[in-house]
Amino acid sequence: MERNNNISAEELARQQEFMEKVKDINEEFYNKTGRRKKMHITTFGCQMNAHDSEKLLGMLKNMGYEETDEEKDADFIIYNTCCVRENAENKVYGNLGYLKHQKKENPEMRIALCGCMMQQDVVLQTIKEKYKHVDIVFGTFNLYKLAELMYINMETNAPVFDIWKEHGEIVEDLPTIRHFKYKASVNIMFGCNNFCSYCIVPYVRGRERSRCPQDIINEIKALASDGVKEITLLGQNVNSYGKGLDDEITFAKLLRMVNEIEGIERIRFMTSHPKDLSDELIYAMRDCEKVCNHIHLPFQAGNNDILKKMNRRYTKEHYIGLVEKIRREIPDIALTTDIIVGFPGETAEQVDDTIDVIKKAKFNGAFTFIYSKRTGTPAAIMENQVPEKDAKANFNRVLEALNPIIYDLNCAKVGKVYKVMADDVSSNDESYITGRLEDNSLVHFKGDRSMIGDIFDVKIIDCKTFYLIGERV
């Protein structure tokens, strides 16, 4: 299959040279001081950012840095930022204020900012004016240039800003350090063309572009031979995967190809847009035994006027019809969603439509958000922005509808046995393992570290709203 969209081998080799140069400088530091430089990455936002951070970590380790859990001990600090909602941005500013004092104590400290927030002019302006202790700023399109930017900063001792307004080519083969040994995320596409009226993502992540299927398959095969059993395919809107590629490929076809890869046991994906969810995809999910029985299908709001103003391009009835079709084909599927409350002009009666969808669709889980005004999006200048107290009251009503449904669906699992992938030891109690059912439900059960990465039969013995308790059988 033809490669297109990809960055040239020369550019990658150039970046490799910068990595070597930074590594040499760090080696010199080590020879002089007897200590290795440390780094710390803080990641905000979605799985896409989490996966970008794995690439940042891979590059930094190649440059001779050691990872530390304590930000205050780090010589190189990165914030990989999110701008989907205002509170994520405020946290970054808050942390930066604090770092100003830390930097005085450690003059070696370098601070880098990257990710979605940096793609906004107003943010860049604020950083240049108020946060002069920031050393390196780059965006969502040029992550692969980290080493070059670090080298320039080290050589000049001056702040380096490098923000691209649109994407260049797709970058393959960046060194990556995975957070988990047995599961991995794989980008299948970048960007978004949907322009939902509340959402900043299309402005900061650019237009949709898909990776070549062969690159994706090769990456997954390599991961499988490295012991990875669970793959999550990532894209802002995976259902439009393949558009614009030379290959005749759809997301459903890609799923079928990934399903054939030996060694992979579970396949997940994020995120689907209801307007492009095809029958072909539902059948692929039904037919592919490795594709997990879970779909995350954000519906955002239940009222048709609000959906129209959100530019979601489906109706409440279409969404409910879709859910029925999915459940008919895949009866044990778990359905999760995203919901926004308090979109401009949304009344309490219109929120009743959202609650109606919740009751009809019977979600197994939901991310619920109060609408956050994002400058530059069409919704930011719409009339009737909803006062916070009204949005909060409606938000609470939504949770009151949602939580008992989630709880009941969880409790229906009690007494049954499920296959559970052991992810990690529990952060509260080392004698417990946290794992995921195929449908993505979280379960805690007795175990130890040696079990991580394997799949066990677990009987569910108790249920809470947000997790299950189980025991091995």
Q: How many chain residues bind ligand 5AD (CB under 6 A)?
A: 12
Q: How many angstroms separate the CA atoms of 100 and 133, rounded? A: 6
CA distance 120 to 133: 19
Print the binding letters for residues 150-189 with ligand 5AD: x by CB under 6 A, - otherwise.
Answer: ----------------------------------------
Tell whether residue 369 is a contact of ligand 5AD (CB under 6 A): yes
Regarding 309 and contact with ligand SF4 (CB under 6 A), the answer is: no
Rounded Cα gap, residues 221 and 299, in angstroms = 33
Which structure tokens are listed for 186? 């794989």
First-to-final CA distance of the chain = 46
- Please answer whether residues 411 and 372 qualify as being in contact, where contact means their C-beta atoms are separated by less than 8 angstroms: no
Residue 372 binding target from ligand SF4, ligand 5AD, none, CB below 5 to 8 Å by type: ligand 5AD
128-156: b or e for each residue (b if 16 or more CB lie within 10 Å)? eeebebbbbbbbbbbbbbbbbbbbbbbee
> Residue 250 Cβ, how far from ligand SF4 at the closest point, in Å?
18
**Interface region with ligand SF4, contact rule CB under 6 A, candidates 89-97, 170-178, 195-203, 225-233:** 195-203
For ligand SF4, the closer CB: 111 or 340: 340
Which residue, among 387, 406, 302, has the nearest Cα to 352 in the 3D structure?
A: 302
- Nearer CB in complex with ligand 5AD: 45/435: 45
Out of 372, 394, 410, 434, the residue judged to bind ligand 5AD by CB under 6 A: 372
* Shortest separation between residue 350's beta carbon and ligand SF4, angstroms: 19
Kindly state whether residue 199 participates in binding ligand 5AD, applying the rule CB under 6 A.
yes
Instruction: Please check whether residue 342 is in contact with residue 386, taking contact to mean a CB–CB distance below 8 angstroms.
Output: yes
CB under 5 to 8 A by kind: which of ligand SF4, ligand 5AD, none does 371 bind?
ligand 5AD
Which one of residues 49, 187, 237, 336 is an interface residue with ligand SF4 (CB under 6 A)? 237
Question: Nearest distance from residue 131's CB to ligand 5AD, in Å?
Answer: 24
Can you spell out the DSSP letters for 309-347? Answer: HTT----HHHHHHHHHHHHHHSTT-EEEEEEEE--TT--
354-383 residues in contact with ligand SF4 (CB under 6 A) are none
Q: Which is nearer to ligand SF4, 196 or 437 (CB)?
A: 196
Nearest CA among 62, 48, 7 for reference residue 215: 7
Q: Which is nearer to ligand SF4, 240 or 434 (CB)?
A: 240
Answer yes or no whether residue 192 interacts with ligand SF4 by CB under 6 A: yes
- The strand order across the sheet containing 230-234 reads 183-187, 230-234, 266-270
Per CB under 6 A, residues contacting ligand SF4 are 192, 194-196, 199, 201-202, 236-237, 273
